[in-house]
């Protein structure tokens, strides 16, 4: 399902494993990332996404398998010889240096002339919207500003691949949403491959061209945000990317005529009255509303259907008030949805 | 209905005292500091003042009595003599050399402890570093005299490795050499470094443990070789720890009179002169004046250290 087969490969991971003792942090991983992509590694903590990033950066060495960076084998190549730069989760700014010295560090190592360093540092600080802060120390900056300095410090070197390790994790919600938009804009402006680690599925869906969903050191699914959300192939992906109802066993048999487990998104299900007419292309099941959670824009219902399964249903509060929805608890209802929204899952 | 006593129970003395301090925060500070201030004021600063005062008196050379008259005669006539300048210079250079050598030995070990050692190994290493401090300093110094002597285990070991000639060559270097290691300035130096090394390891270790791993990785990630990272990131961040450790090694060497008395070529150090002047010679004013020298050197040193941020690493 490669999105850009014509673009050249930035990263190729072939059967890569990284074991820490008995723990398989990354387990037989295969991954292709193309030049210029915004690629996210999405997964819960401990799923191996950060280890995967550290393998690319060179801070970890694979226990087996091989990593190619623009076609070059990376085995035995130390981090300081790799044309990638990292934005660290804790930003890792040098506390004893000014903002200007932090951003200019990589250029200083490459022995770029001083005048040129100053010019590029100024230019880069303008791009991350921190002009004139050259002489501040990192301790004098806010979290959001430090994050931008860390980004500038990495981007000023024009790496071919930029690695971002949950860079927005420490920011508050509003700032995080703003930075998501800015990061995406900067990525399109500079055209560098971004590999972005996050545990926030909304962040991954918002920003990525493609994403890989990690679980227990393995990749569950790779695809565009729409593909992964609309067509999850495993139970884990269906549950981790957004929320899903998993329907299995007898209920699945009754609804689809096959006992293969399928997932159905809460927003695809409609709550109707018991006498509603149901067409051939619809699934329908009766149930009792067990719980109602009023969330302003929409309401989440927990409905117990026949066979004891609980289904989550989300309905927008279009023409109902909080009084209406909260009084619905205990009601007998009919749930209907289009059969085309059922997603059969493998290995679940 | 049974009758219940209406008065609530009286709070205990401790609780009433606590409430008093809560209402009068200044009194709680007084209570907190009264003992240490008394100790520092009377015993520490008091004895220091007495010492300084003594240094401005002088000894009557004929009667051997201290003349309690303020003046600079002791400093002018007796302190800055060529032989005494020799002692001051020797002590200063020794303190400097011991400090530098301690830092060179301590840094890699502290780095290993902070960066690579497992929790268990680190505990063992802390124990090994601190263990010698539990035994008597005098015993350890005399043990070194035996180790370094002509018939000692070190000479024997060097001969066994065929390095006896190297030892003889080193011992024949004028200035630091001598008849054997235990009778040479080099031996004094070795024992000084051994005795004060823990005081250098611990502050450097503390400073290094505060350097986040990610900062070192970031330097490497931005293209810096390990050497460049050491010079531009690790050393600057650990520098306050090195300076803090050097305060100990430098000042302790500057004032010590046991080690050069037991091990060395019997050339004097400041501490020994002070000891001899106030003990054997009974010249308290000159002994006091001699003590002022390390105090002045340390005052200057501490000013520089503070400017280097050493007090943040203690």
ipTM confidence score: 0.82
At residue A1, the pLDDT reads 41
Give the Cα-Cα-Cα angle A198, A202, A206 (nearest 5 degrees): 95
Indicate yes or no: CB of A90 within 8 angstroms of CB of B212. yes
Exposed/middle/buried for residue A333 (C-beta within 10 Å: 0-12, 13-18, 19+) = buried
For residue A252, pLDDT beyond 90: no
Its pTM stands at 0.80
Return d(Cα A146, Cα A99) in angstroms, integer.
9
Indicate yes or no: CB of B224 within 8 angstroms of CB of A105. yes
For residue A189, pLDDT beyond 70: yes
Categorize the per-residue pLDDT at A306 as very low, low, confident or very high, splitting at 50, 70 and 90: confident
At residue A136, the pLDDT reads 93
Those of residues 188-217 in B touching chain A at CB distance below 8 A are: 212, 214-215, 217
Question: If we measure between CA atoms, which residue out of B52, B57, B77 comes closest to residue B293?
Answer: B52
Structure tokens at B176: 């630091």
At residue B2, the pLDDT reads 57
A110–B contact, CB cutoff 8 A = yes
Low-confidence ranges of chain B (pLDDT < 70): 1-6, 310, 312-314
Q: For B226, which residue in chain A has the nearest alpha carbon? A: A80
For residue A163, pLDDT beyond 80: yes
Return d(Cα A252, Cα A235) in angstroms, integer.
14
* Distance (Å) from the alpha carbon of B119 to chain A's nearest alpha carbon: 17
For residue A3, pLDDT beyond 50: no
Report pLDDT digits (tens) over A16-29: 999 998 889 999 99
How would you label A228-248 residue by residue, b for 16+ Cβ within 10 Å and e otherwise?
bbeebbbbbbbbbbbebbbbb
Indicate yes or no: CB of B220 within 8 angstroms of CB of A78. yes
Mean pLDDT of A174-178: 86
Computed over every residue of chain A, the mean pLDDT equals 90
Of A84, A88, A157, the CB nearest to B214: A88
Of B221, B223, B233, the CB nearest to A110: B223
At residue B189, the pLDDT reads 95
Return d(Cα B189, Cα B113) in angstroms, integer.
26
* Distance (Å) from the alpha carbon of B215 to chain A's nearest alpha carbon: 5
**Greater pLDDT, B90 or A242:** B90
A59–B contact, CB cutoff 8 A = yes
* Distance (Å) from the alpha carbon of B230 to chain A's nearest alpha carbon: 13
Categorize the per-residue pLDDT at A249 as very low, low, confident or very high, splitting at 50, 70 and 90: confident
Q: For A161, which residue in chain B has the nearest alpha carbon? A: B221
Give the Cα-Cα-Cα angle B17, B23, B25 (nearest 5 degrees): 95
Chain A residues with CB under 8 Å of B208 CB are none
For residue A34, pLDDT beyond 50: yes
CA distances to A52, A61, B250 from A48, rounded to whole Å, are 6, 14, 49
B222–A contact, CB cutoff 8 A = yes
Those of residues 70-89 in A touching chain B at CB distance below 8 A are: 78-80, 84-86, 88-89
């Amino acid at each position: 399902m490669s999105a850009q087969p014509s673009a050249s490969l930035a990263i190729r991971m072939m059967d890569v494993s990284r074991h820490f003792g008995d723990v398989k942090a990354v387990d037989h991983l295969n991954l292709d990332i193309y030049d210029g992509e915004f690629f996210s590694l999405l997964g819960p903590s401990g799923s191996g996404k950060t280890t995967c990033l550290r393998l690319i950066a060179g801070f970890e060495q694979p226990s087996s398998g091989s990593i190619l960076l623009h076609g070059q084998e990376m085995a035995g190549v130390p981090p300081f010889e790799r044309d990638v730069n990292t934005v660290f989760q804790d930003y890792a700014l040098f506390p004893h240096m000014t903002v200007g010295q932090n951003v200019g560090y990589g250029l200083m190592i490459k022995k770029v002339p001083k005048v040129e360093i100053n010019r590029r540092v100024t230019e880069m600080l303008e791009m991350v919207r921190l002009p004139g802060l050259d002489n501040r120390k990192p301790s004098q900056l806010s979290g959001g500003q430090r994050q931008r300095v860390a980004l500038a410090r990495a981007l000023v070197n024009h790496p071919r691949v930029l690695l971002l390790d949950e860079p927005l994790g420490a920011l508050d919600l509003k700032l995080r949403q703003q930075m998501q938009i800015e990061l995406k804009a900067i990525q399109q402006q500079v055209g560098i491959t971004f590999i972005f680690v996050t545990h926030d599925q909304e962040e991954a869906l918002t920003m990525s061209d493609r994403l890989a969903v990690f679980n227990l050191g393995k990749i569950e699914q790779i695809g565009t945000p729409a593909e992964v959300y609309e067509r999850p192939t495993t139970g884990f992906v269906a549950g981790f990317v957004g929320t899903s109802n998993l329907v299995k066993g007898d209920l699945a048999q009754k609804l689809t005529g096959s006992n293969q487990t399928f997932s159905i998104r809460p927003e695809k299900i409609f709550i109707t009255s018991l006498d509603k007419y149901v067409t051939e292309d619809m699934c329908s099941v009766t149930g009792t509303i067990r719980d109602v959670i009023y969330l302003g824009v929409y309401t989440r219902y927990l409905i117990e259907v026949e066979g004891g399964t609980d289904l989550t249903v989300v309905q927008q509060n279009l023409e109902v008030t909080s009084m209406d929805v909260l009084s619905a608890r205990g009601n007998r209802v009919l749930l209907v949805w289009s059969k085309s929204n059922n997603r059969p899952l493998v290995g679940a | 209905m049974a009758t219940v006593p209406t008065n609530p129970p009286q709070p205990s003395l401790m609780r009433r005292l606590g409430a008093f301090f809560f209402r009068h925060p200044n009194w709680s500070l007084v209570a907190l500091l009264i003992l240490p201030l008394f100790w520092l004021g009377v015993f520490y600063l008091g004895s220091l003042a007495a010492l300084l005062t003594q240094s401005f008196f002088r000894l009557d050379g004929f009667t051997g009595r201290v003349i309690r008259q303020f003046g600079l005669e002791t400093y002018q006539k007796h302190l800055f003599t060529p032989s005494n300048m020799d002692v001051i210079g020797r002590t200063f250079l020794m303190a400097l050399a011991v400090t530098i050598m301690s830092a060179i030995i301590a840094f890699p070990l502290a780095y290993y402890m902070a960066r690579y050692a497992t929790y268990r190994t680190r505990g063992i290493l802390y124990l090994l570093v601190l263990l010698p401090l539990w035994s008597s300093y005098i015993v350890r110094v005399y043990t070194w005299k035996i180790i370094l002597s002509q018939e000692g285990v070190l000479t024997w070991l060097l001969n066994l490795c065929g390095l006896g000639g190297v030892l003889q060559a080193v011992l024949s270097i004028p200035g630091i050499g001598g008849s054997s290691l235990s009778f040479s300035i080099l031996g004094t130096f070795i024992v000084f470094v051994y005795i004060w090394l823990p005081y250098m390891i611990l502050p450097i270790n503390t400073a290094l443990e505060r350097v986040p791993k990610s900062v070192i990785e970031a330097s490497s990630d931005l293209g810096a070789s390990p050497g460049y990272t050491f010079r531009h990131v690790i050393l600057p961040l650990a520098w306050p720890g090195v300076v803090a450790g050097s305060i100990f090694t430098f000042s302790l060497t500057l004032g010590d009179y046991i080690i050069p008395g037991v091990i060395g070529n019997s050339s004097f150090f400041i501490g020994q002169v002070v000891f001899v002047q106030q003990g054997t010679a009974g010249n308290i004013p000159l002994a006091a004046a001699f003590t002022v020298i390390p105090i002045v050197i340390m005052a200057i040193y501490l000013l520089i250290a503070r400017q280097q941020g050493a007090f943040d690493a203690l």
